[in-house]
Amino acid sequence: MNSFRVVVQEPGVVTVEGFESPAPDPNQVVIQTRASLISPGTERAFFLALPNTNAAYPLYPGYSTIGDVVAVGEDVDSMYIGARVASGGPHASHIVMDASKCVHVPDELDDEIATFFNLIAIAMQGVRKTRIELGESAVVIGMGPIGLFALQLARANGALPVIAIDMDENRLALAREVGADAALLNGDSLLDEVRQLCGGDGAHVVIEATGASSAIPLALQLAAPRGRVSLLGSARGVTDGINFYRDVHRKGLSIIGAHEITRPRFESLPGWWTQYDEQRVALQLLAAGRLTAQPLISHRFVWNEFPQAYELLAGWDKSVLGMVIDWLHADNQTAAD
């Protein structure tokens, strides 16, 4: 089987290499990938070995793929062959996964749109943990893909108003397009603007989705007394400048660590769902048109152009949002080179 995969050989060095796809174990399936999605924040951090990554190299990145089951292990029903599934496998033309970790993709859902399932699931668990009630105000800081989905999910949970905050006007325009009630530039008057929009001392819920440690003090300041702050972004580095007495203790804030690794493994509970269940719901919400992903596709590459995609990602261009990789085709010129 002619298989190819992405490998980060060392920080800042990425290639596409051939490999021999292994045979599946009894409970596994082999998936031929149709499309995968680059997760810009996480993959950039590990590509560049940013603080709080601690990765071992070579590294095989990626965790959002859509593909067809082409072979199954002896304990997997053969009727599974031909199914189109979503999985947390890496960027590769062929992936071996446990069948129990694969989620069926609704027939009506396009491959490109379906690749966003895992970013939605990540945003979903961060929003779910805040226990938003109908009519509570919510602020989302950072309008990357995770923040844009968190905004939509907060709105779906009944938050009102839902306020987007970013430092880029184009991303704020996109936030308005996907449903923000207000979209504000991060500036000197931000705290007053948020308080005015929320009709009080701040927002009931603040979701920090930038992954920048410098944004955490702002998230605490924007929260109303007895509010909840969800740290959804994976902060890279140490945060300075937090006055815990003023910004947390006296306000009675609840701070929620919302890394997806905190999910339960086997059974969903109120406020704490398994990864499989949230991925399944993410695909259903996309198929039902309850979430919008199309405007988040900023770039498309074929698989043998992957180094160019990571080169763009490393520069942290604000235009980079959803980078979709096509694994069914190749750029002939690139392949010839």
HEC per residue, 120-188: HHHHHHHHHCCCCCCCCCEEEECCCHHHHHHHHHHHHCCCCCEEEEECCHHHHHHHHHCCCCEEEECCC
The CATH 3.90.180.10 portion of the chain extends over 3-116+293-336
Cβ atoms of 230 and 207 closer than 8 Å:
yes
- Kindly report the pTM of this predicted structure: 0.93
Q: Is the predicted pLDDT of residue 149 greater than 70, yes or no?
A: yes
User: Regarding predicted confidence, which is higher, 22 or 48?
Assistant: 48
Average pLDDT of span 53-59: 89
Q: Quickly tell me which residue has 């010839």 as its tokens.
A: 336
CATH 3.40.50.720 for domain 120-262, yes or no, is yes
* Beta-carbon count within 10 A of 286 CB: 23
Average pLDDT of span 157-185: 97
The CATH 3.40.50.720 portion of the chain extends over 120-262
How far, in Å, are 202, 242, 318, 322 from residue 225 at the CA level? 8, 16, 33, 35
Q: Is the predicted pLDDT of residue 336 greater than 60, yes or no?
A: no
Q: Is the predicted pLDDT of residue 320 greater than 70, yes or no?
A: yes
pLDDT (0 to 100) of residue 54:
81
- Residue 78 makes CB contacts below 8 A (sequence gap 6+) with 72
pLDDT band at 44 (very low <50, low <70, confident <90, very high): very high
Average pLDDT over the chain, rounded to whole?
Answer: 93
pLDDT band at 333 (very low <50, low <70, confident <90, very high): low
Q: Is the predicted pLDDT of residue 197 greater than 90, yes or no?
A: yes
According to DSSP, residue 284 is labeled: H
Average pLDDT of span 95-104: 96
pLDDT (0 to 100) of residue 245:
86
Among 21-25, 101-105, 111-115, 303-307, name the one with the lowest average pLDDT: 21-25
Q: Is the predicted pLDDT of residue 335 greater than 70, yes or no?
A: no
pLDDT (0 to 100) of residue 1:
58
How far, in Å, are 89, 101, 235 from residue 285 at the CA level? 21, 19, 28
The domain 3-116+293-336 is classified under which CATH number: 3.20.20.150, 3.40.50.300, 3.90.180.10, 3.10.180.10? 3.90.180.10
